Amino acid sequence: MSTPPRAPIPTALTIAGSDSGGGAGVQADLKTFLGCRVHGMSAITAVTVQNSLGVSGIYELPPEAVGAQIESVASDIGVGAAKTGMLASAEIMAAITGALDRVEIGPLVVDPVAASQHGDPLLRPDALDALRELLIPRATLITPNLGEIRLLVGIEVSDRSDMDAAADALLGLGSTWVIVKGGHLPTGDAVDLLTDGDRRVELSAARHDSVHTHGSGDTLAASTCAGLARGLDVVEAVRFGKRYVTAAVADSYPLGAGLGPVGHFWRVRELF
Stretch that binds ligand PXL, among 1-9, 12-20, 62-70, 147-155 (CB under 6 A): 12-20
232 lies in the binding site for ligand PXL (CB under 6 A)? no
Q: Which of 15, 16, 220, 225 binds ligand PXL (CB under 6 A)?
A: 16
CB of 146 to ligand PXL, least distance (A): 14
**Footprint of ligand PXL on residues 130-189 (CB under 6 A)?**
none
CB of 127 to ligand PXL, least distance (A): 14
Q: Which residue's CB is nearer to ligand PXL, number 25 or number 107?
A: 25
Q: Which of 40, 107, 217, 260 binds ligand PXL (CB under 6 A)?
A: 217
86 lies in the binding site for ligand PXL (CB under 6 A)? yes
17 lies in the binding site for ligand PXL (CB under 6 A)? yes
Q: Which residue's CB is nearer to ligand PXL, number 29 or number 38?
A: 29
Q: Which of 10, 12, 15, 25 binds ligand PXL (CB under 6 A)?
A: 25
90-104 in b/e form (b: 16+ CB < 10 A) is bbbbbbbbbbbeebe
Euclidean distance between CA atoms 9 and 43, whole angstroms = 19
215 lies in the binding site for ligand PXL (CB under 6 A)? yes
116 lies in the binding site for ligand PXL (CB under 6 A)? yes
**Footprint of ligand PXL on residues 30-69 (CB under 6 A)?**
48, 50
Sites of contact with ligand PXL (CB under 6 A): 16-17, 19, 24-25, 48, 50, 85-86, 113, 116-117, 122, 215, 217-218
